[in-house]
Amino acid sequence: MQTRKLGNSNLEVSALGLGCMGMSFSYGTVHDENEMISLMHKAVDLGVTFFDTAEVYGPYTNEVLVGKALSPIRDKVVIATKFGFNLNPDGSPGWQGLNSRPEQIKAVAEASLKRLNIDAIDLFYQHRVDPDVPIEEVAGAVKELIQEGKVKHFGLSEAGVQTIRRAHAVQPVTALQSEYSLWWRKPEAEVIPTLEELGIGFVPYSPLGKGFLTGKMDDKTELSKGDFRNTLPRFTPEARKANQAFVALLESIAQQKQATPAQIALAWLLAQKPWIVPIPGTTKLSRLEENLSSIAIELSAEDLRNIHEVISKVPVEGERYPEHLEKITGR
C-alpha cells in the first residue's frame, strides 16, 4: 500500500482511507456490526491505515463501531473524528445547530475518546465552521487538547480560505476535509492553492459523488426511505437521468484504461496532488477491493488533460446540497 503525508505534518497514512459513516448512518441501512468490524479488519489487512468517523454519525453509534473494530489494533491505524454540532438530546439522528464553543469541543473530545476506546484522537476536525465562535478560539481549544495529549492533529471540514488561514495561524492545520470529486471541483479555485501554500493536506469526502460516479445508479434506482440522498437536489430522478451523460463519459474513459468508473474517479483525485488522500466509504468487500485497486492506476498528464476536456463538456444537473445545508459550507 502506498502512503502519503498530509501536507507538511508528520501524519502519514495510506493513500486511500476508509470513510465509515455509511456503515451505520445516512444511507438508510444500519449494517450488521460484526460484518462491518470484519470489513474494517480486512481493510487493515489490505493496507488501509486511515479511518474516518464523527460523533454526529448515528449519533455516536459510528464512533462506537469504529472503536470496537480498531481499538484492539490501535498501533496500526490513524483515526479521525469530528466535533461541531449540538446533537438532539434524545439521541435521535440529526442536530439542533452548530456548536464549536471551546467547552463543547473539550467535552466532545472526552466523549469521543471513550466511545473510540483510545487514549488520543489522531485527527480532530471541526465538522462545520461555527459563525458564532471565532475560529481562533476553536483552534486555541484544539491546541490545548494537543498540549494535553488528547488530540494529535487539528483539522477543518468545508472551511473557506480565510477561516483556514486564521485557524492555521493559531494551531497548524494538518488537513482539510471537504467534498471534492470529478463532479464537484469548486475547491480547485481557491482552496487547493491555499492548502498547497500553507502545507496542509486535503482529504476529499464523497470522492465517488455519494455513489453516483460508480455507474451503478440511474433515474430508476430506488433509494431507501432513510437515505439522505433523497434530500439532495443532485439525486432527484430527473437530475440522475440528466447526469447519466456524465457517468457515460467516465465509463468510456474507464474502458480505455481497463478499469471501472470508480477507479478512474479515485485515480484522478490521487493524481491531482501528492498530499490528497480520498476517503471513499463502502460496506462491501468487493467495493473496498475495487477502490483500493485505483492506487495502481497511473494517469499521465495527457490522460488528465483528456479527462478534463471530456468531463468539462458535460454540465452537472442539480446542486450538491439543499440551501440550508449549503449555507454551512465554505465559510
Domain boundaries, the chain: 3-211+272-297
Q: What is the 8-class DSSP label of residue 164?
A: H
Strand partners, 98: 85
Give burial (CB, 10 Å; 0-12/13-18/19+) of 202: buried
* DSSP strands (E only) in 127-216: 151-157, 173-179, 201-205
pTM for this prediction: 0.96
Across the beta sheet with 50-52, the strand order is: 18-19, 50-52, 78-83, 121-126, 151-157, 173-179, 201-205
* DSSP strands (E only) in 162-319: 173-179, 201-205
Separation CA 188–CA 203 (nearest Å) = 13
Contact yes or no for 230/223 (Cβ under 8 A):
yes
Q: Do the bridges between strand 12-14 and strand 3-5 make them parallel or antiparallel, or are there none, so unpaired?
A: antiparallel
- All three cell numbers of 281, joined, read 466509504
Contact yes or no for 314/245 (Cβ under 8 A):
yes
What count of residues does the chain have? Answer: 331
Angle 328-66-265 from CA coordinates, rounded to 5°: 60
Q: What is the 8-class DSSP label of residue 213?
A: G
Q: Which of 265, 270, 255 is nearest to 311 (CA)?
A: 265
Fold (topology level) of 3-211+272-297? TIM Barrel (3.20.20)
> Which positions ≥6 away from 151 have C-beta within 8 Å?
109, 120, 121, 124, 142, 145
Q: What is the 8-class DSSP label of residue 236?
A: S
- All three cell numbers of 282, joined, read 463502502
| Catalytic choice (57, 125, 180, 205) | 57
Please say if 57 is a catalytic residue: yes
pLDDT in tens, the chain (331 residues): 999 999 999 999 999 999 999 999 888 778 999 999 999 999 999 999 999 999 999 999 999 999 999 999 999 999 999 999 999 888 888 888 999 999 999 999 999 999 999 999 999 999 999 999 999 999 999 999 999 999 999 999 999 999 999 999 999 999 999 999 999 999 999 999 999 999 999 999 999 999 999 999 989 999 988 888 999 999 999 999 999 999 999 999 999 999 999 999 999 999 999 999 999 999 999 999 999 999 999 999 999 999 999 888 888 999 999 998 888 888 8
pLDDT at 42: 98
Contact yes or no for 308/264 (Cβ under 8 A):
no
> Which positions ≥6 away from 140 have C-beta within 8 Å?
102, 170, 171
- All three cell numbers of 297, joined, read 492506476
Contact yes or no for 28/172 (Cβ under 8 A):
no
Q: Determine phi and psi for 8, rounding to 5 degrees.
A: -85, 5
* DSSP strands (E only) in the chain: 3-5, 12-14, 18-19, 50-52, 78-83, 85-87, 95-98, 121-126, 151-157, 173-179, 201-205
Contact yes or no for 28/227 (Cβ under 8 A):
yes
